[in-house]
Homo-oligomer: A and B are copies of this chain.
């Protein structure tokens, strides 16, 4: 398939490489040409604008940071929408607001262009191993057309529902994952105050009802005090901004998500945004309760 790709960051580069290796004709667009160098060496074409990329592609995949980034790519000057032929599909794998996904899909639909929101979970490691968990929101016929592309990138692909539903699932994923990181941090901090060995606590917990992917991976980083990213905490901070904005719009109470967001605010204000979200442990350690 003729596939375009935008967003050659730590996640996007290995994902684009998997598409090349699966035999697709890959075009890329990157603000900084050096980000595309390795892919071009392996046969990808570099385009001058997103519009040129869309004109060369049946499907364009984007994985960038913010809702605004995706809007600009799609409908900004020389954007994808200006280049797609009717029947083209924009697959956005970024983590953005469900409302933005729905709004972009509606604008594309007026041009006869499809939309799939397909955010992912699993981080850089899963991107490199092509074992991402992909949560898709789309019309069934659009998802079917791009399914082979997504299966080259991920281990699981769940069609959650209509356009936007992939982003809703991703919001749920982030709420649960970062709450689990915060809970692990609180537990580790309490165990530390008791003078109990954290590595053994973690081992004990992995056998029981508190076992989780987070305790395994991020809990291990807390035990080792390894705060190098991993997952840059600034991205989780961004995600919680989205979650709380949606919650406010919908009138939904999210008491611990709101509390986690505040802890992430404190993390950011300590300058740890480029470090792993395991740094939530360091946020707790900065607080002295009842010190006087």
- Interface positions of A (Cβ within 8 A of B): 98, 120-123, 132-133, 135, 155-156, 158-161, 164-165, 168-169, 171-177, 179-180, 182-184, 186-191, 193-194, 196-197, 200-201, 203-205, 207-215, 217, 243, 246-247, 250-257, 259-260, 262-263, 284, 287-291
Q: Which residues of B contact A263 (CB under 8 A)?
A: 255-256
A133 to B160, CA, bound (A): 34
Q: CB distance A172 to B250 under 8 Å?
A: no
A158 to B165, CA, bound (A): 42
**Known A171-B190, A259-B256: A212·B180 in contact at CB below 8 Å:** yes
**Known A176-B215, A251-B288, A290-B251: A133·B207 in contact at CB below 8 Å:** yes
Which of B164, B187, B252 contacts A190 (CB under 8 A)?
A: B252
In angstroms, how far is the closest chain B Cβ from the Cβ of A37? 30
In angstroms, how far is the closest chain B Cβ from the Cβ of A162? 8
Can you tell how many copies of this chain the complex includes?
2
Q: Which residues of B contact A253 (CB under 8 A)?
A: 189, 284, 287, 289
Q: CB distance B210 to A121 under 8 Å?
A: yes
A160 to B284, CA, bound (A): 23
Q: CB distance B121 to A207 under 8 Å?
A: yes
In angstroms, how far is the closest chain B Cβ from the Cβ of A168? 5
In angstroms, how far is the closest chain B Cβ from the Cβ of A184? 6
State the main secondary structure of chain A at its contact with B. Answer: helix
Which of B120, B173, B186 contacts A257 (CB under 8 A)?
A: B186
Q: CB distance A256 to B260 under 8 Å?
A: yes
Q: CB distance A122 to B179 under 8 Å?
A: no
In angstroms, how far is the closest chain B Cβ from the Cβ of A119? 10
**The 9 A-B residue pairs with the shortest CB-CB distance in the complex, in nearest-first order:** A121-B208, A133-B208, A156-B207, A133-B207, A212-B212, A172-B187, A179-B183, A158-B204, A135-B204
Identify 13 new A-B residue pairs, CB closer than 8 A, beyond the known A177-B210, A189-B254, A256-B263: A121-B209, A122-B209, A132-B208, A165-B200, A168-B194, A172-B187, A173-B187, A176-B205, A179-B183, A193-B252, A251-B288, A252-B284, A256-B259
